[in-house]
Structure 1
Amino acid sequence: MDYVFPAPPQASIGVVGEAARFPVRRIFCVGRNYAEHAREMGNDPDRDPPFFFTKPCDAALETPCTVPYPPLTDNLHFEIELVVAIGRGGTDIDPDRVMDYVWGASVGVDLTRRDLQAEAKKMGRPWDWAKAFDASAPIAPIVPIDAVPSLSEGRIWLAVNGEVRQDADIGDMIWSVREHIATLSQSVRLSQGDLVMTGTPAGVGAVMPGDVITGGVDGIAELEVTIGPR
């Protein structure tokens, strides 16, 4: 097929133990999926249906990496998240069959321009400028699902310059992986290459150029992200 200019390269993340890479199609993110984080953001953590926002596929950046401090913000926040990689397409997936569609898992950081998000909330506008900017989804290499011990329990943590800021268990999710992926599949057809960032626990905060973020989900993956200059 001919294009009017060269097609952009396929966004991808490495796979642990394999030379082949995981091609990224879309990135879905679950909002407010840990009760304590919902409270720290001023929201009620009752079990309302999960809601989602997206990042472009090329926001994914394999770790370890350096992320430039983005423009238009003075309040860049970290949010550590379990990442689920989809390997089979489907719609209206039964929660009991969700694992049939999961290819693997990893850990990532949902970088957020918090000041832009606060402005968008106040004005009733979409969160795109706050969430979907360049290099806003650094993700560790993906672990095939056969090597993942659990998607329902395990410590999730993040540190900045060696100081732990977020420390919880993925079992604390309001909506489990099975539940929120099933809900997502009612709205869109999930496809091979989709990534789902499953929400962040309490403790989010700001980082500055020169800060080093480390974090992980025990038994699955760890990452390191350096915040570069503006």
Structure 2
Amino acid sequence: MKILAIGKNYVNNKSDLEAISKGFQMIFSKPESSLLLNGKDLEYPSFTSNLLYEVELVIKIGKSGKNISEEDAISFISEIGIGIDYTAKDLLNQVRETKGPWELAKGFDGAAPISNFIPISNFKNVEDINFKLSINGEEKQVGNTGFMIYNFAEIISFTSKYMTLQPGDLIFTGTPATGAGASFKGDHLQASIEGELLLDFKVV
């Protein structure tokens, strides 16, 4: 199973989409060991003092595909969930200084909490999905897929040019343009899709 993620994929205003020159998507990966499942609490990593959260919709691939066209891409999604892309920002800053890889800062144990998944057939329009993250009861991030720079189909088509997508693969599809921030011990994170609470855990 692959866990892929796309960076910098949302705007605050749809009018900004017209001014963006689309090109090479920024894709990175996380190891399977980074997954945090079943609402398990996240143990704050000992190697960082700057743990950043980003809420993201996560698409699950339902069938194998290579060089997938944008027209066919949505048919390769079986389910949609919600997750947190965690970053050890101080560690990321260190590796950026030497232009090193992101794996340690993005792929540590627990760096990818994810919810249970909802069948894609439950969604009337994948380009109009609302999602939200609250921490300690306070709304922190609100997103809608209509504000994506690269939509689900474009992400799948682009990625499949370079690697075969297989059943069970997960793709984190980007975080809303504002609201990402630091997590602290004791934080209670709750993430929902279309008002349905799907992800609920604490940082301990």
Q: TM-score, normalised by structure 1?
A: 0.80
1:215 aligned partner: 191
Q: In the alignment, which of 173, 188, 197 is matched to residue 198 of structure 1? A: 173
The one-letter amino acid of 2:113's match is P
2:49 corresponds to 1:102: no
The one-letter amino acid of 2:62's match is G
* Higher RCO structure, 1 or 2 (CA under 8 Å, sep 6+): 2
Offset of residue 190 of structure 1: 0.5
Partner secondary structure for residue 65 of structure 1: coil
Contact 1:106 1:221 in 2 (8 A): no
Give the ranges of 4+ consecutive aligned residues of structure 1 lying more than 3 Å apart after TM superposition: none
1:80 aligned partner: 55
Q: Which sections of structure 2, spanning at least 5 residues, go unmatched?
A: 13-18
1:167 aligned partner: 142
Identity %: 32
Q: TM-score, normalised by structure 2?
A: 0.90
The one-letter amino acid of 2:166's match is S
Offset of residue 83 of structure 1: 0.5
Partner secondary structure for residue 127 of structure 2: coil
Query: Alpha carbon RMSD of aligned pairs, Å?
Result: 1.8
Offset of residue 220 of structure 1: 6.7
1:224 aligned partner: 200
Q: Which sections of structure 1, spanning at least 5 residues, go unmatched?
A: 1-24, 37-43
Offset of residue 184 of structure 1: 0.3
1:111 aligned partner: 86
The one-letter amino acid of 1:108's match is G
2:124 corresponds to 1:146: no
Alpha-carbon distance between aligned partners in 1 of 2:195 and 2:133, rounded to the nearest angstrom = 15
Q: Which whole-Å deviations, capped at 9, do the CAs of 1:72-97 have from their partners, x for residues lacking one? A: 11011111001000010111000010
